[in-house]
Amino acid sequence: MSADALLTIEGLKKHFPVRGRLFNRSNDSVKAVDGVSLSVRKGETLGLVGESGCGKSTLGRCLLRLEEPTGGRIVFDGQDLLTLDKPAMRRLRRDMQIIFQDPYSSLNPRKAVGAIIGDAFRVHGLHKGAGRRRKVEELLSLVGLRPEHYDRFPHEFSGGQRQRIGIARALALDPKFIVADEAVSALDVSIQAQILNLLVSLQRRLGLTYIFISHNLGVVRHVSDRVGVMYLGRIVELAPTAALFARPAHPYTEALLSAVPRPSVGTASKRIILAGDPPSPLRPPSGCAFHPRCPHRQDICMRETPPLKDLAPDRAAACHFPLTLAAATPAATH
């Protein structure tokens, strides 16, 4: 376990049992998260990317115990979350929060903004009466809204403003760690940039640690210090952002990056087209889960599951034949 790690995950699993299917077997389950191990350092942003259905949002929810993991270990700020009872977990939730994907469905339409943000104080018995209103108004100002928005309802705001309300709610209890689950994917591009800049500014000001979940590689590149690439419930590559975008080590990462639109400068980059669809997490392939679509597969890939192994300092990939890292690896930058 790294000394500067705020969060450490070891062998985390979340399997959803399948019910009500014809001829269902008792051991059928969807392996949404299947043995993830990683750490998140204090003050950094770890981006999680991958195709829809790869398990990245389920992983984020498991970290906060919004979904109960099937197995593994989660250590947050020195405490093993899976050993805590409900009262202890409630106390710890002040330090870990989530920003949801949809700024419309994540806010109660029957409550005013002041009540939505103030609910956190009510649940934890903090800032009563006029002090609670003053604290909520401070949070509104912090995220770029006006104090007089306190008495307005969600339908009176735009999508970007609603997401600012969601961010204020996440910040209410002065957390150390925030899971941003596709926090800008429902917003227009111009509004996305504003929200991303706000999140970066808040991180620097408040010393926050983020896990930023997204399918948008451009967004992840902008905000992340390191990136974890997920495929079928597992981390297949983990690297500093600049290094991963400059020289991917896993064939799946290489294919993802080749799909990012970019201006044509000189020779156009080669688009890698993967054959077939992602396998079902209910019936994952033997060996490496990526082998049915991998252009570099060999016999061992069909038989043995590759572990996530170190390739260079702060770089790891789960591949029997990782792509060359012979060239110098640049340092991570925003």
Of 280, 282, 276, residue with least CA distance to 295: 276
Helix (H) or strand (E) holding 117: helix 113-124
Q: And the tokens for 63?
A: 């970290």
Residue 329 in 3-state DSSP? coil
Contacts of 232 (CB under 8 A, 6+ apart): 31, 34, 54, 55, 278, 279, 281, 284, 289, 290
**Average pLDDT across the chain, whole number:** 89
Mean pLDDT lowest for which of 196-210, 247-261, 298-312?
247-261
Q: In the chain, where are the structural domains located?
A: 1-19+59-82, 238-261+271-324
* Dist. CA 259–CA 12, nearest whole Å: 29
CB 333 within 8 A of CB 243: no
pLDDT, tens only, 122-152: 988 888 888 899 999 999 999 999 999 999 9
pLDDT number for residue 327: 43
CB 196 within 8 A of CB 219: yes
Of 329, 138, 132, residue with least CA distance to 226: 329
DSSP class of residue 287? Answer: S
Residue written as tokens 């002041």? 114
Complete DSSP assignment for 207-241: T-EEEEE-S-HHHHHHH-SEEEEEETTEEEEEEEH
* Dist. CA 134–CA 155, nearest whole Å: 23
CB 214 within 8 A of CB 228: no
pLDDT, tens only, 193-232: 999 999 999 999 999 999 999 988 989 999 999 999 999 9
pLDDT, tens only, 34-74: 999 999 999 999 999 998 889 999 999 999 999 999 999 99
CB 278 within 8 A of CB 295: no
Q: What is the pTM of this model?
A: 0.89
pLDDT of 284 > 90? The answer is no
